[in-house]
Structure 1
Amino acid sequence: MDFIRYAERSAALVNAELPDDSALREHLADRTWLHDAVVPGDVAALHAFRAELRPVFEASDADDVPSVVRTLNDLLAGHPVTPMISDHDPDDLHMHVANRAASVAELLIGEALMGLATLVCDLGATRLGICSAARCDHVFVDTSPNQSRRYCSDRCSSRANVAAFRARQRRAEQTRSGAHEPVTQPRAATS
């Protein structure tokens, strides 16, 4: 099991627009073997789960460790994970977070919870965040060595950096143009 990848997929799940089964299949573009297993109830289950999962990212972003732990524990209790050893390749036995009878939604929920729980235990409860870009509310997983990530994507980071650069340029221009204006002295009163 690649728990970091599962944690990152949990953020992608929270950020995903999933209006229907087709959108869920699109979300699973890199996992085509799951496409045929998608059933109508999966989308509704994932919508409900996403609403339950977002507070974990919000609490982490606010450095509220007790809330992160409590919420994840509540979700783990509400969505029990049933791991199994996979033997589809006898030379590469490995764990799956759901058994063969699990729905796609149950699989994604299990991966998200196990990924986040492991990440929180291994890297700390403040490694999840909400994008700092002005018009973005996407969540992300911060696996950077110095826990410095502030944006959900390179795109949001670039936009924020460009906006900050332009703001600095405007301030510098205003300062330069203000410094070169002649200073006028008030006229002396005449009687």
Structure 2
Amino acid sequence: MTFAHDTDVALRTAAALVNTARTAHGDTLTTTDGLRDFYTQWGWTGRVTGDAHELDQVRELRPRLRAAWAATSDEGLATLVNTLLREGRALPQVVTHDDYGWHIHATPSDAPLAQRMQVEAAMALVDVVRVGERSRLRVCAADDCDNVLVDLSRNRSRRYCEDGCGNRLAAAAYRSRRDG
């Protein structure tokens, strides 16, 4: 594994958040119930108000995080990360809770959810920059999909997102060979 467990989780969570804006079914983060489901699914802790303003703030964060996957250089990614950290008022602290062991939180648990999401993603992206692994931030290789993914495979071979694009394309190729 290239990254610490908390970095791995934060990167996958950031990708999942970005991908809520672009799915085959449209935007999947349109209601406060959907935000609460996302919060629970990805194991967030701390304050959540569950109101429309919080939903709007989280939705507005998605294109800013997507920019990490569009960065064409380490310098560009570092500039984005520094902006996210500065604007998120990051103040790293070493903490332990649940089953994570010692790890870093850079915002208080009562900070707004969107701010915590922003800083959590930025802290994970710090590790991406530090170890020179920007190439692990990818866009799905399916022609009809622009979801983002984090390739955490040992051999850097992951090409498709979590929405089943790899299986869909493999099935289409099989049908084409069989019928061809």
TM range (shorter): 0.7 to 0.9
Q: Give the alignment partner of residue 87 of structure 2, picking from 59, 78, 84.
A: 78
CA 1:34 to 1:160, structure 2 compared with 1: closer, same or farther past 3 Å?
A: farther
Q: Using the TM superposition, give the Cα deviation of residue 43 of structure 1 relative to its aligned residue in structure 2, in angstroms.
A: 1.5
Note if 1:120 corresponds to 2:103.
no
Does the CA contact (< 8 Å) of 1:49 and 1:109 recur in 2? yes
Q: Which is richer in helix?
A: 1
Distance 1:115 1:121 in 2: 10
Aligned to 1:56: 68
Report % sequence identity. 31
TM-score, normalised by the number of residues in structure 1:
0.73
Q: Secondary structure at the residue paired with 1:149?
A: coil
Distance 1:131 1:121 in 2: 24
Q: Secondary structure at the residue paired with 2:134?
A: coil
Deviations 1:108-157 (A, max 9, x none): 11111111221232251111111112332211111111212110127211
Correspondence 1:1-191 to 2 at 5 A? 2-16=6-20, 17-30=28-41, 31=43, 34=46, 36-59=48-71, 64-86=73-95, 94-122=103-131, 124-153=133-162, 155-170=164-179, 173=180
CA 1:156 to 1:75, structure 2 compared with 1: closer, same or farther past 3 Å?
A: same
RMSD, aligned α-carbons: 2.7
Distance 1:130 1:159 in 2: 16
CA 1:80 to 1:126, structure 2 compared with 1: closer, same or farther past 3 Å?
A: farther
Distance 2:93 2:68 in 1: 26
Q: Using the TM superposition, give the Cα deviation of residue 20 of structure 1 relative to its aligned residue in structure 2, in angstroms.
A: 2.5
Does the CA contact (< 8 Å) of 2:47 and 2:112 recur in 1? no
Distance 1:66 1:139 in 2: 20
In structure 1, runs of 5+ residues without a counterpart are 174-191
TM-score, normalised by the number of residues in structure 2:
0.76
Distance 1:134 1:93 in 2: 41
